[in-house]
Structure 1
Amino acid sequence: MAKIRFAGQGLHCSLGRNPEEVYQRMCAGQDAFRPVWRFPAAPYKQQKAGMLSEAEDEFLRNAYPDDELAGALAKQAGRQALGLPEGASPRPDSGLALVLASNFGAWETQEWLWREKQDLGTVSLASQQHWEDFLPGLARSLGCAGGCQQLSFSCASGTAALGAGWDIIRAGRAERVLVIAFDILGEFCWCGLHNLHTITSDTMRPFDRRRSGTIFSEGAAAVLLEREDDRAASAAPAQYLIGAATNNNAYHLTAPRPEAEGSREVIQEALRQSGLT
């Protein structure tokens, strides 16, 4: 079986504009959280989030004036993963597919459509087209002419998208797959996440007995997957995607089974696919 390797990566979030910047800041002990500024946070028990600064928000909107923030972040991370120089326009590549992953998707456009319907009693064709073109527009801007799709598996969206990209390459439907996971925060999202009772009023403490929940963030991360035997193998150390699996245990809308049966089964299937024990 041909190996599928990670050939590129991109990242833009509240901790930095690229993977190296984020890594260095993490090593320095910095975290991604700052006071929420995009909406009134006083009604909520947690008033910090991994939210872009106002200056960074403005930078992205100015850099991609035709896109909402989610699209701008996705393009920024995707261009990094493809190694595109600033200002370069990629040619359409029929061997390059796109898989998007998101919890909330392009919610700014969804909210605009709702408000337009409320205020005017109808939604214009131009507004509908902006929504319909989110995925294919991203694909065109990144040269992904080999097909595109978007997945939403809640917090497992990014992992599921990697699995989808793995399947696409193994099935011979594309030589390379650009996988981009993204989300942005707004009050619509923040209110819903608080109602799930997963957000702590303290801070994140992973692997700590004192942990009491999570804090959500926004940003976009991208990886480029490719079949190694289609290109000359690099002498540099490589990272590979060797197994993937998804399932749905249909237990609850938001909660996993207490005995973790579904999680255990999907992990076992991914290990089986990889040949590991």
Structure 2
Amino acid sequence: MAWWTALGSDLDEVWRALLAGATGVAPVASAHPLRNDRAAAVGDLPAELGPEQRQYELAARAVRTAVSDAGLDVTDPRLRLVAGTSHGSHLDVPPDRLDRWGETLAAGLGMARRPLLVSTACSAASDALLVAAALIAEGEEEVCVVGGVDVLTPAKRLGHSALGTMSPTELRAFDERHDGTLLGEGAAFLVLERADRARERGARIRGRLSGTGSANDAAGPTAPDLSGDTVVRAVTAALAAAGRGPGEVGVLNAHGSGTPVNDDVESRGFARVFTDGKAPVVFATKGAFGHTLGATGALEAVAVLLALRDQAVPPVPGLKTALPGFPLPLPGGAAPLPFTGNVGLSITIGFGGFTTCLALEVPA
């Protein structure tokens, strides 16, 4: 697996930065007035790169690194790219086809097969993992490199500023002062294959995607249904697919966008799922990476696997006083919070009602 973020690209260096409470959010110049000029940009990309080139470069770097980490070659004829994005560069540079970016990426990397592309708003990368897992389970694919990428563009920043979803201050997920999100960019990809085949070729196995679940509330184009029903349905489906119960979950990476509506919906949903027994520790990375839209699910899947490996979660940036009644433990302050358990969940909530949950495990 691999990621490219506003905090860097090395898996362990970025993870250590997260555990130390670091954030990649900083002022990013804009030619247009915004509700907030702060965002999380990837610093080692040339500033003059246009949105299309930025999307390509971020994705290409993460795909190459993930495939290499898995002991494979990007030109392996068995390898299928399954990738998600929200709008990518599309709002700023309207394409002739919404999947053109992925075909350009696969061709540029020398991949032998056409990619499969997913665009389900902020759950796109999670849904790409869901799709790839289904294809492998059904015997349609042998090995996939799967994840998501999204880039910071003027149109996205203007859009969230106009919608009022952008925070005028800072992103404070699950804090009683939460007032919106801040955008970021990044990419993350993981190589997914059957466990027996990975063992046969001597691959380093970082974890297991043991279950997936999704739901859509169909409540509106942006705001989710306030009941938390879709969170409950997605989490319940993922746990059922994994053969796990709520009490077996040690850690949960929440969507944690910092918008009052989303944070409240997650809080309600968690309270309905985790009613008895052990309560998982909740963490959120958007205060460090920014809200990376279609890349979010893959970045957070990587973060859950690293948390399970180290049995610790990073502090939630900006969290001082948790929302009244928040039902699960949260790591506030500046120090990591330890936990026990080998089962983790990642939850994404997207515009258009898309909600997806991934169940991830490491050996006990």
Q: What residue number does 1:187 align with?
A: 154
Deviation by residue 1:86-139 (Cα, 9 ceiling, x = unmatched):
xxx94633321111111112338725x6xxxxxxxxxxxxxx59x864222322
Instruction: Give the unaligned 5+ runs of structure 1.
Output: 1-8, 114-127
For the 8 Å contact 1:93–1:143, the answer to whether it is kept is no
For the 8 Å contact 2:6–2:41, the answer to whether it is kept is yes
Q: What residue number does 2:17 align with?
A: 25
Counterparts in 2 of 1:204 and 1:253: CA distance versus 1, 3 Å? same
Following TM superposition, by how much is the alpha carbon of 1:17 offset from its aligned partner in structure 2, in angstroms?
2.3
Following TM superposition, by how much is the alpha carbon of 1:161 offset from its aligned partner in structure 2, in angstroms?
1.1
Which of residues 34, 52, 59 in structure 2 aligns to 1:44?
A: 34
Q: What residue number does 2:238 align with?
A: 270
How many Å separate the matches in 2 of 1:242 and 1:91? Answer: 25
Counterparts in 2 of 1:237 and 1:149: CA distance versus 1, 3 Å? closer
For the 8 Å contact 2:25–2:41, the answer to whether it is kept is yes
Q: What residue number does 2:138 align with?
A: 171
Following TM superposition, by how much is the alpha carbon of 1:273 offset from its aligned partner in structure 2, in angstroms?
1.2
Counterparts in 2 of 1:75 and 1:108: CA distance versus 1, 3 Å? farther
How many Å separate the matches in 2 of 1:169 and 1:237? Answer: 16
For the 8 Å contact 2:214–2:233, the answer to whether it is kept is no
For the 8 Å contact 1:183–1:219, the answer to whether it is kept is yes
For the 8 Å contact 2:213–2:233, the answer to whether it is kept is no
Counterparts in 2 of 1:11 and 1:237: CA distance versus 1, 3 Å? closer
How many Å separate the matches in 1 of 2:144 and 2:240? Answer: 23
> What percentage of aligned pairs have identical amino acids?
26
Bigger radius of gyration among the two: 1
Q: What residue number does 1:246 align with?
A: 214
Counterparts in 2 of 1:51 and 1:77: CA distance versus 1, 3 Å? same
RMSD, matched Cα? 2.9
**Secondary structure in 2 matching 1:138:** helix
Which of residues 194, 199, 209 in structure 2 aligns to 1:227?
A: 194
Counterparts in 2 of 1:208 and 1:60: CA distance versus 1, 3 Å? same
Deviation by residue 1:179-212 (Cα, 9 ceiling, x = unmatched):
1311111111111112332221111222322222
Instruction: Give the unaligned 5+ runs of structure 2.
Output: 246-364
Paired residue total: 242
How many Å separate the matches in 2 of 1:73 and 1:91? Answer: 16
> What is the TM-score normalised by the length of structure 1?
0.77
The one-letter amino acid paired with 2:159 is G
How many Å separate the matches in 2 of 1:40 and 1:51? Answer: 16
Alignment of 1:82 with 2:45, yes or no, is: no
